[in-house]
Amino acid sequence: MFGLIIKDFKNVFGMMIYYLILLALFLTITLLSDNIYFYIGAVVFFTISVPLSALAYDEKDNWDKFALAAGVSRNQLAVSRYLLALAVLFPLWLISFLLLLAEDLRSYENLSVVLMYGGISLLSTEIVLPLVFRIGTEKARLLYIIVILAVLVLGGLFAAWVETIGGMSVLIASLCILAVGIVGFFISMKISCSIYRHKDF
């Protein structure tokens, strides 16, 4: 399983450099503007983009067919894509918590934003991956764009809500969204494994 994730990172290495440059840009904007939404929104984008890029390479090279012939199970192939998403999300999400150590970013509101967007990153992955497995990366690109736009809209609404409500209520709501994302992650993984078991390569 670990080998599959390493293979995916090697496949997207060229794009990863581009992603890291973008990430550094959003990180800089966040620190200069004292607005954590720039960075944490980028985390959602990268969490979905890296697995989708890896899947696109695999689809182009018929990797799954080769892997199955080599003895890799269908469940391992499906689960490895979710683990890849987590391998991207966790380090980037950790950085967002470190940003909260900055005096101008240290607040309950920003902590709520970080927690909520962690849940949104998981939820976005949970929605996109099963459909990618079902219909392929090319057909799923429109869905990916819709998900990103939905995240931007929800993020804007949440920002307005934070400004209006503030305090512990927002923090509790964010924890609920994160909890839904964690539970849904396992449900989505189960659905994807089922899709893979019936998929004809």
Q: 28: domain range?
A: 2-197
Query: Could you say which DSSP state residue 102 is in?
Result: S
Average pLDDT over residues 84-105: 91
Each residue of 143-152: pLDDT tens digit? 777 777 776 6
Residue 194 is predicted with a pLDDT of 92
Please give the mean pLDDT across all residues of the chain.
84
- The better pLDDT of the pair 105, 189 is held by 189
Contact 47, 92 (CB under 8 A): yes
Residue 93 is predicted with a pLDDT of 94
Residue 88 is predicted with a pLDDT of 93
Residue 162 has pLDDT above 70, yes or no: no
Which of the four pLDDT bands, split at 50, 70 and 90, describes residue 201?
low
Cβ count within 10 A of residue 38: 16
Domain count, the chain: 1
Distance CA 61, CA 105 (A): 44
**Residue where the block lists tokens 């949440």:** 158
Distance CA 11, CA 8 (A): 5
Which of the four pLDDT bands, split at 50, 70 and 90, describes residue 166?
low
- The better pLDDT of the pair 13, 143 is held by 13
Contact 115, 171 (CB under 8 A): yes
Residue 155 has pLDDT above 90, yes or no: no
Q: ∠ CA(68), CA(70), CA(74), 5° rounding?
A: 25
Going 63 to 69 to 70 to 73, the CA torsion angle's sign is positive
Residue 192 is predicted with a pLDDT of 92
Element (H, E) at 92: helix 74-99
Residue 197 has pLDDT above 90, yes or no: no
Average pLDDT over residues 85-96: 94
Residue 85 has pLDDT above 90, yes or no: yes
